Amino acid sequence: MSETVTVAGIGADGWAGLCRDAREAITCADVVYGGPRQLALIGDHPGKRPWPSPLLPALDALFDEPGRICVLASGDPMLAGIGTTLVRRLGADRVRILPGVSSVALARARLGWSAEETDVVRVVGHSADRVTRALAPGARLLVLSGDASTPAVLAALLRRTGYGPSRMTVLEELGGPGENHADGTADDWARAEGAALNLIAVDCERAPGARFLPTLPGLPDDAYEHDGQLTKRDLRALALARLAPAPGEVLWDVGAGAGSVGIEWMRAHPRNRAIAVERDPERAARIERNATALGVPDLDVVVGEAPGALADLAAPDAVFVGGGLTAALPACLARKPGRLVAHGVTVESEQLLAAAHRDHGGELTRVAVEQAAPLGGFTGWTPSRTVTQWSVTR
C-alpha cells in the first residue's frame, strides 16, 4: 500500500502558482495522477498518469500501489473536487491536502462578491436544471460549469424560469494567462462558445410578473404536473414540518403520485436526497419531469410497489407514505426510520393509522381544509377531502 497520498491544488497559472510544498510533493512523487489539463501544467515528469475512465471503480486499486503518489486537482481539492472523494475512500489520515486558490475565490475577488452573500451551484457532471432551485430575486450565484456549452444552456434556463433580466458573467481560465470575461443578460445572451474551463456568475433578477418559488415547503399545487394524485399544498406543508428535513438526509416518498413531498424535501437543502417510489410508470415519468422543472433533477425515481420495491433502497432517515398503506406501512416501519408520516383518506386506511398510533405512539391528526369559492352571488366554503395523518418520531 502506498504512503500518504498528497493532493495538490493547481490553478490555470500552473507551476508558477504552486506553493513550495506542492512543488516538492510533485517533484518527489513516483506517480502523479491528474486530468490531461492539470498534467500539462507541470511539464515533464516521468510518473505522469492520466486518470482512468471510468474513474471511481478504479480508485482503490490505484492507491494500493507502493510508492509516493501525488494527485493534481483544480484549485481547492476540497471544493467539489477529487480531494473530497479521496478522503471519503481512503480516510483523512491517509490524504494530505495542499489547496490552491479555488476558482470560486478568484471569481468572488474579480466581482467583489462576499462569500457569505454568494451561493455556489455545481453542474459539473450534473444537469444545469440544478440551478433552478437556487433562483431568487437578488441572489448571487456562482455556477461551476460543465463545459463550454454551459453558459448558453444556463441563459436558456434563466429565460425559461422568468429570470431573463439576470446579468451573467462568464469567467474563463481564471488566474491563467488566457483569463477572459464576458458579460450580458440571459435575455440577450448570444455569445458563441468560449473556453471549456469557465465559471458563470449570475446576479439574479426576476422578470416583472414572473413567479417566485421559495425553498420552503408548500409550493402552489399548480407548480406540479399531476393527474389529481398530488399531496395538496397545505397537507404537504404539514407533512414536511413533521418529516423535518435536515441537510444530507434521505427520504423515501412511497406512493409518490406527482412526487411533491420528495421534491420539496430536496428543495429544502442542496445535500438532501429523496427516493420516490411509484408503481405507475406514467406517473413515475411525470415525477421526473416535475423534479427537473423544480430544480432537483437528481431525485431518484423507482418504479415499483411496496414492499418489493423497498428492499434494496438506501436506508431512510425519514419516510412519507402517501399511498398503498396496507403493504407499504409495515415495510417502512420495519426499516426503523427516524421520522415517519403517513396519510389516509378512507375509513380502512384511517383504521390502519389508528392501529399504528396505538402500537407505536406518535401523533394522530385529522386535517380538514376548506377553500372560499363563489356560491351563487355570494361566497361559500368548499371542503376538501378530510385526511388522517399519523406521524411518529423515534
Please tell me whether residues 53 and 119 are part of one structural domain.
Answer: no
What are the b/e assignments for 181-210, b being 16+ CB within 10 Å? ebeebbeebeeeeebebbbbbbbbbbbeee
Q: Domain count for the chain, please give it.
A: 3
Please tell me whether residues 110 and 152 are part of one structural domain.
Answer: yes
Please tell me whether residues 226 and 346 are part of one structural domain.
Answer: yes
**354: exposed, middle or buried (Cβ count in 10 Å: 0-12, 13-18, 19+):** middle
Please tell me whether residues 239 and 383 are part of one structural domain.
Answer: yes
Please give the backbone phi and psi of residue 90, each rounded to the nearest 5 degrees, phi first: -105, -20
Please tell me whether residues 238 and 340 are part of one structural domain.
Answer: yes
Query: Which CATH number fits the domain that encloses residue 52?
Result: 3.40.1010.10
Rounded CA gap, 253 and 321, in Å?
A: 6
Order of strands, sheet of 180-185, starting from the edge strand that comes earlier in the sequence: 119-122, 140-144, 198-203, 167-172, 180-185
Please tell me whether residues 189 and 308 are part of one structural domain.
Answer: no
Query: Which CATH number fits the domain that encloses residue 298?
Result: 3.40.50.150
**307: exposed, middle or buried (Cβ count in 10 Å: 0-12, 13-18, 19+):** middle
Query: Which CATH number fits the domain that encloses residue 112?
Result: 3.30.950.10
pTM of the model: 0.92
Tens of each residue's pLDDT in the chain, 394 residues: 457 899 999 999 999 999 999 999 999 999 999 999 999 999 999 999 999 988 888 888 888 878 899 999 999 999 888 999 999 999 999 999 999 999 999 999 999 999 999 999 999 889 999 999 999 999 999 999 999 999 999 999 999 999 999 999 999 999 999 999 999 999 999 998 999 999 999 999 999 999 999 999 999 999 999 999 999 999 999 999 999 999 999 999 999 999 999 999 999 999 999 999 999 999 999 999 999 999 999 999 999 999 999 999 999 999 999 988 999 999 999 999 999 999 999 999 999 999 999 999 999 999 999 999 999 999 999 999 999 999 999 8
Q: What's at 61, amino acid-wise?
A: A
Please tell me whether residues 186 and 55 are part of one structural domain.
Answer: no
Q: Which domain holds residue 382?
A: 221-393
Please give the backbone phi and psi of residue 183, each rounded to the nearest 5 degrees, phi first: -120, 155
Residue 209 lies in a domain: no
Cβ–Cβ contacts within 10 Å for residue 315, how many?
9
Please tell me whether residues 151 and 82 are part of one structural domain.
Answer: no
Q: What is the DSSP string of 155-208?
A: HHHHHHTT-TT-EEEEEESTTSTT-EEEEEETTT--PPP--SSEEEEEE--PPT
Q: Which of 49, 77, 101 is the last residue of a domain?
A: 101
Residue 244 backbone zone (phi > 0: left; psi -120 to 50: alpha; other: beta): left
Rounded CA gap, 371 and 384, in Å?
A: 8
Please tell me whether residues 97 and 110 are part of one structural domain.
Answer: no
